[in-house]
Structure 1
Amino acid sequence: MLGLVAALSLGAIGQAKAATPVSTPTSMNADRFSDVPHGFASLAGGTTGGAGGKVVTVTDQASLAKYAAAEEPYIIRVSGSIAVEPFGSNIIVGSNKTIIGVGDTGEIVHGELHLNPGTHNVIIRNLTIRDSYVEGDWDGKTQDFDAIQMDTVDHVWIDHNRLTHMGDGLIDLRKDSQYITVSYNVFSNHNKAFGIGWTPNVITQVTIDHNWFTGTKQRNPSADNCAYAHLYNNYLSAQVADGDPVWTYGNWSRGHTKMVIENSYYDGVQHPYQADATAELVQRGSILRNTTGRTDEWGTAFDPRDFYDYRLDPAAAVPALVKRFAGPQPRMGR
C-alpha cells in the first residue's frame, strides 16, 4: 500500500525552495520514490495532481478516458495493459489528475495522453506508454502519435515512466507550458524523444533529471525558447548510429533557451550537448565516454538554486542509479 498511501499525501507540497535533507544511503533511495514533486513543478503553488479526489482503478480504455477527462480531481490507478483504439487515439487528461500505474503492470498501448491548452496540475507516474509506431515512418511525418503531448499547460510532473516506440515524439512539451518536471523516465527505441518549444515566446521552465535516453536518435531533449531548462543526472547511451551528421544528437539548447546541464553521463553519443548562437548553455561536472562532435558552452544561463534546492548525484554513479530507479517500479502505485 506504500505507493497508494503516498499518492494520497500529495497535498503536502512546498511552494518555494525546500530544505535539502541530510541523506544516508537508505534515505537517498527513498527519495527516488518521493511523492512530492521537485524542481520547477514544485514552485508557484506546487503540483498535487488528483490529491483530495476519489481513488479509482481502471483496466479498460473507457474507464481511463472517463476519469481522466472528468471535471473533478481523481487519482487514477492503471492496472494491467490498456490497448487504445483506434490506433494512435488520444486519452484526454483534464486538470487535477494523478494517473499512476499499479506496480510495474500499468500500460497504455497504441495511444497518447493528451493535455489540452489550459490544463493544469497533472501527475503522470509509473506507466509504460508504448507502440504507436507507424511502420516505415521513422521520421514521424505521417501521424502525430506522441506518448504524452502538452500544449500551454502548467504544473505537470512526469515521473518514473517508460516511453517507447511511438509514432512521433515520446514527449512533446509545447506552446508556453510552465512549471514542468520530468524525472526518472526511460526514453527508448525511438527517433525524436523529447521536444520542447513550438513557440516564439521564452516562457517555459522545466526540470529534467535522472532520465535514461537509450536507443534514441535526437531531441534528448531539444529545448527551444525555454526561459530555464535545468538538466541534471541524466544518462544518454546506445544512441542510434545512422550516420546522420546533424540530426543525431544529445541535448540542444535552441532559440533563446537558457540551459544548465549538471553531472550527466554521455556514453557513445554524437554531439552530446550543443547550443544555438542565440542560446546559452552552462555545463558542469558531466562525464563524456566515447563521444564525438559538439560540446558547446557559452553564456551564463542561470543558477537553478535561485529557484529551488536539489541534490546532485556524482556523474560516475548516474548509469547505475538510473538503470536501477528510472522507469516503472513494482513498489509504486500499490
Structure 2
Amino acid sequence: MGNDTQRTARIRRLPLRPLSAAAVLCLAAGAGALTGTGATATTGTAAPAAAAYESSPVGFASMNGGTTGGAGGTTVTVTTASQLTDYASRSGSYVIKVNASISLSSMTKVTSNKTIIGVGTAGKITGYGLNVTNAKNVIIRNLTFTGSADDAINVQYSTNVWIDHNDLSNAYDGLVDIKRASDYATVSWNHFHNHDKTALLGHSDDNSSEDLGHLRVTYVHNWFDKTTQRHPRVRFGNPVHVFNNYYGAVTSYGVASTCNAGVFVEKNYFENVKNPTVTQTGDSPDGNIKADGNYLTGSGGIATRNSSSVASIPYSYSAESASSVKSTVTAGAGVGKVS
C-alpha cells in the first residue's frame, strides 16, 4: 500500500540505438536495449500492425479455456440500476447491453459468464463501479465509467476477465484494480484519463500467500492520458505483459514493478513521462523489469532490473513498432469503437 509517489525511482538510462521501426513477432523477444529520447528499438520479423477491434482477447485472457463472457446465453438490454444489478448478479450466461447512463448506489457484483457491454456510446456507469469477485469468464466492454465513490472496476478472486474499449476517469480509488489471486486477465483498448491511482495489480505487500503464482495480466493498446501513477503498479505477478500502450503526459511514473514481480515492458510509446518505468515505489520492495523496443520522446530513461527473472510470455502475439503506437491507440481506444 502506501503513497506511490513518496520515493524516487531507480532509473538506468540506456544508450540510443538507431534500429529498425518495423513491427515484430514477439514470442522470442529478449531483454533488448532500450531507446533514447525520440528513437525506436525493435527486433525480430516484420508483422502487420495490430487490428483495432479484436472479437476475442489478446494475451492472458485468451488462455485457461479462453474468455467468452455471456456468449450463448440470454441477451438483455438494461437502462436502470436495478436492472443492471439484477442481471449482473444472476447465475447463468448473460449478455447485458447497457443503453443509458446508470447511477449505482454501491459497488455492483458481477458473477461468472457475463458480458456487460455499452450500446454505441450510450452506456455509462456513475456513482459506483463494477465488482467482479469470485467469478470466471467475464467481459466488460464499451462503457464509460466516471465519478465512482470507490473503484471503477474491481477484480478479485476471479479468472478469465477481459476489460476492453472502456473510457475510465475520476474514481475515488482505482480505475481498474486486479488483486487477490485473480489471474488470466487482459486489459485492452481502454482510455484512462484524469485520474491518480490508475491500475493496481496486486492487493498489498503482505498478500503473497494469495497472489504468488497468479496475477498474470496483459495490458495492451491502452491510452494513459493525463494520469499520475499505476499504469500498472504490480506486485508478485510474473509474467505481466505491458505492450503497445500509449503513455501521454503521465506525471509520476508509467509502469512500476515491486514485490519481486516480473514485468515485460515492450514496444510502448512514452511521451513526456518523467519515469517511464520504476522498480520500486511507495513502501514496497523492488520488482523486476525486462524491456524491449520502447519509444521515448520528452521522457526519462527506462529502469530495468533482473531481466532474466521475468518469465517468458506463454502465448503467441504480434506487436507493432512502438513508433506507431500513439496513432493506433488514440484512434482505437475508448468507447464507440465496438458493437
**TM-score of the alignment, normalized to the shorter chain, above 0.5:** yes
Secondary structure in structure 2 of the residue aligned to 1:227: coil
Cα deviation per residue 1:36-88 (whole Å; 9 max; x = unaligned)? Answer: 1221011111111001110111111111111000011100011121122x3xx
* Matched-pair contact (CA < 8 Å) for 1:259–1:280: yes
Secondary structure in structure 2 of the residue aligned to 1:324: helix
Cα deviation per residue 1:199-252 (whole Å; 9 max; x = unaligned)? Answer: 213221111100011111110110111121001001111224xxxxxxx21100
| Pair 1:328-2:332 in alignment | no
How far the C-alpha of 1:23 sits from its partner, in A, is 7.2
Equivalent residue letter for 2:263: M
Query: Which residue number corresponds to residue 42 of structure 1?
Result: 62
Query: How far, CA to CA, are the matches of 2:173 and 2:94 in structure 1?
Result: 28
Query: Which residue number corresponds to residue 255 of structure 2?
Result: 251
- Pick the aligned partner of 1:153 from 151, 158, 178: 158
Secondary structure in structure 2 of the residue aligned to 1:204: coil
Query: Which residue number corresponds to residue 75 of structure 1?
Result: 95
Query: Which residue number corresponds to residue 187 of structure 2?
Result: 182
Q: Structure 1 unaligned runs (5+)?
A: 1-16, 134-144, 241-247
Query: Which residue number corresponds to residue 268 of structure 1?
Result: 272
* Matched-pair contact (CA < 8 Å) for 1:270–1:294: no
Query: How far, CA to CA, are the matches of 1:23 and 1:61 in structure 2?
Result: 44
Query: Which residue number corresponds to residue 3 of structure 1?
Result: none
Equivalent residue letter for 1:82: I
Query: Which residue number corresponds to residue 207 of structure 1?
Result: 218
* Matched-pair contact (CA < 8 Å) for 1:195–1:222: yes
| Pair 1:279-2:283 in alignment | no
* Matched-pair contact (CA < 8 Å) for 1:146–1:172: yes
Equivalent residue letter for 1:125: R
* Matched-pair contact (CA < 8 Å) for 1:230–1:260: yes
Query: Which residue number corresponds to residue 227 of structure 1?
Result: 238
- Pick the aligned partner of 1:194 from 194, 199, 209: 199
Query: How far, CA to CA, are the matches of 1:163 and 1:328 in structure 2?
Result: 10
Query: How far, CA to CA, are the matches of 1:45 and 1:100 in structure 2?
Result: 21
- Pick the aligned partner of 1:98 from 115, 121, 124: 115
How far the C-alpha of 1:278 sits from its partner, in A, is 4.5
Q: How does 1:109-148 map to 2 (within 5 A)?
A: 109-116=126-133, 118-132=134-148, 145-148=150-153
Equivalent residue letter for 2:127: H
How far the C-alpha of 1:290 sits from its partner, in A, is 1.2
TM-score by length of 2: 0.80
Cα deviation per residue 1:87-143 (whole Å; 9 max; x = unaligned)? Answer: xx1111111000011112211112210012x2111000111111136xxxxxxxxxx
Query: Which residue number corresponds to residue 51 of structure 1?
Result: 71
Runs of 4+ that moved beyond 6 A:
22-25
* CA RMSD, Structure 1 to Structure 2 (Å): 1.8
* Matched-pair contact (CA < 8 Å) for 2:257–2:286: no
How far the C-alpha of 1:24 sits from its partner, in A, is 6.3
How far the C-alpha of 1:294 sits from its partner, in A, is 5.7
How far the C-alpha of 1:297 sits from its partner, in A, is 4.0
Equivalent residue letter for 1:272: P
Secondary structure in structure 1 of the residue aligned to 2:193: strand
- Identity, % of aligned pairs? 37
* Matched-pair contact (CA < 8 Å) for 1:274–1:297: no
Q: Which has the higher contact order (CA 8 A, sep 6+)?
A: 2
Change (3 A) 1:24 1:224: closer
Query: Which residue number corresponds to residue 22 of structure 2?
Result: none
Query: How far, CA to CA, are the matches of 2:130 and 2:229 in structure 1?
Result: 21
TM-score by length of 1: 0.81
Query: Which residue number corresponds to residue 323 of structure 2?
Result: 316
Query: How far, CA to CA, are the matches of 1:294 and 1:266 in structure 2?
Result: 10
